[in-house]
Structure 1
């Protein structure tokens, strides 16, 4: 049984969220709080497994409280707020601070929305929340000359923080890099802009026909689109509408499989934290085509689902802690050090 604390300044919303969670036999609502000050005392007294947290509350902003919580007492948090739809920056900041997931606050009659909160909470209960990695400025020492390679990265739950950690360690003239992160359509453009601010390389949301160039990182649009790589010698992005594959759109399997077909041994595949199996088959296809493949290790994953599935399938050549993945990608794509 997963014990949940509901934190929201609205009495009605606390009741609605609490009722939706209590209707699930795997969840128990052990308490409520109307602001972060009450939440702090409730956490001490009740020791919940997961908390749901609003963003806009009196006495202390929810994001400020989240930052303190993840620094002093890391635990699974699901952000439930109207800002998760309108304010994508707030959503991304919450995920970067360590929230496992975010969901738009449902309206009172939105039964599906409230059921989704229960599902998000159950998923969060299985997540590993640790002290956040200190993201110091990367020490990109030594010269870097991009080899004729591309990098493909896939991630899901916990991927916002993981991708920031990896991408900020890439050099300004990094190998062309394509990323699929499971994320709603309204978030990916802002996420690409956020990555761009912390990266020496140029990061943008992928557009259909974009040529894959050194020093560029391309993030798959969210929603109904898949990102693929097409071409022969001169590779480019292919962005098309499609149905979910491996349960997701965009799908990591779709991206990795396309890289296996086009880049073959000119590629490096990386699978990061995430729930489920998306990306495992695609990464196996990459390795079988001659690509080098890396997986995030269990100890540093928020959810060791996608990397585990890929590892057990034989798709992962090496598992590494999150902090070492950026330097490993650099070495594998550096003409002077690739091995």
Structure 2
């Protein structure tokens, strides 16, 4: 790839194609080499122009974005950034796209499109640049179905009574791979995944359908229970609080930290004060350094810490930052993380 990131914009709306092109080309490191209104034209331009990144609409004529994405990721894997609506149906399809291999998504506004896209121009440019650096793997239809829960020949009782996880780009699929493999009787799991507020409830709902553990979007005051996973809402920080009857979720809007809300650093830091030596912390795929500092504090105070390794990350940013800071006890391939969690948190039967 050259220093300039070449982008092909695929959307059935001429207005969207024009707006995306204008926004992206404001950055001197990005060049939109072409646009296409449908999958047929996009396929021709991919062969002709060999772009570094594809922005792809979900709803298109002739062949929808999901079917086209499957063909791309099977025959010519490349970084794809989905452009998705904010509706529940749009969210569900977006998660399908991430499972197939899309790097990330931007939420397409439904009203006042021009002004709304302008407001999210920084996010769009950033995500295109991240996508250009991502590790892309071919789509395998059998991969999704192949994740089976770990055979629970253990009782999940040990001195490790809490799991916390942080993730960003590439984390949606990484979290599914880890959580889907876990047995039902795990310690409570608190998660920060960088994601817009319109998507976190749908993300929790989708994981809940796939996993043996119960997955919910965290709400303020929720009691933290075994066998449950709590996803931070997309517009607030999630922290852990202790009361007489046990641990609770605290959900609050207190401004961005490390450029994010929710922030991994905020969640991890809250655990340092309360239960570091009883915690396993996990850092999954993502761009940036969010969580590295607080993960180091967790490790320094007795937590066991795991980082996703470089070769299995879509973006080896957050795990790398934590590793280089000395915050990681063990780096593992994504497929091995669930097994390590069971090993750390469950005693032999």
The TM tier, using the shorter chain, reads: over 0.9
How far apart in 2 are the matches of 1:18 and 1:267? Answer: 46
Instruction: Report the 3-state secondary structure (helix = DSSP H, G, I; strand = E; otherwise coil) of the residue aligned with 2:348.
Output: coil
| 1:235 paired residue number | 247
| 2:276 paired residue number | 264
How far apart in 1 are the matches of 2:307 and 2:179? Answer: 15
Match of 2:237 among 223, 226, 244: 226
Moved more, 155-164 or 80-89: 80-89
Match of 1:144 among 151, 154, 177: 154
| 2:51 paired residue number | 48
1:329 deviates by 0.7
Checking the alignment, whether the CA contact within 8 Å between 2:70 and 2:139 is kept in structure 1 is: no
RMSD: 1.9
Match of 2:138 among 131, 141, 146: 131
Residue 32 (str. 1) matches residue 35 (str. 2): yes
How far apart in 2 are the matches of 1:80 and 1:151? Answer: 32
Checking the alignment, whether the CA contact within 8 Å between 1:84 and 1:103 is kept in structure 2 is: no
- Count of paired positions: 336
Runs of 5+ consecutive residues of structure 2 not aligned to the other structure: none
1:109 deviates by 4.1
245 and 83 in structure 1: CA distance in 2 versus 1, 3 angstrom threshold: closer
Checking the alignment, whether the CA contact within 8 Å between 2:152 and 2:183 is kept in structure 1 is: no
Moved more, 173-182 or 235-244: 235-244
1:146 deviates by 1.5
How far apart in 1 are the matches of 2:332 and 2:286? Answer: 15
TM-score, structure 1 normalization: 0.93
How far apart in 2 are the matches of 1:113 and 1:252? Answer: 22
How far apart in 2 are the matches of 1:154 and 1:281? Answer: 12
222 and 53 in structure 1: CA distance in 2 versus 1, 3 angstrom threshold: same
1:67 deviates by 2.2
Match of 1:108 among 114, 118, 121: 114
Match of 1:301 among 313, 327, 345: 313
Q: Equivalences for 1:1-339 in 2 at 5 Å?
A: 1-83=4-86, 87-105=90-108, 107-110=113-116, 111-131=118-138, 134-135=143-144, 136-147=146-157, 148=159, 149-223=161-235, 225-231=236-242, 234-336=246-348
116 and 203 in structure 1: CA distance in 2 versus 1, 3 angstrom threshold: closer
1:86 deviates by 7.0
How far apart in 2 are the matches of 1:17 and 1:84? Answer: 20
84 and 274 in structure 1: CA distance in 2 versus 1, 3 angstrom threshold: farther
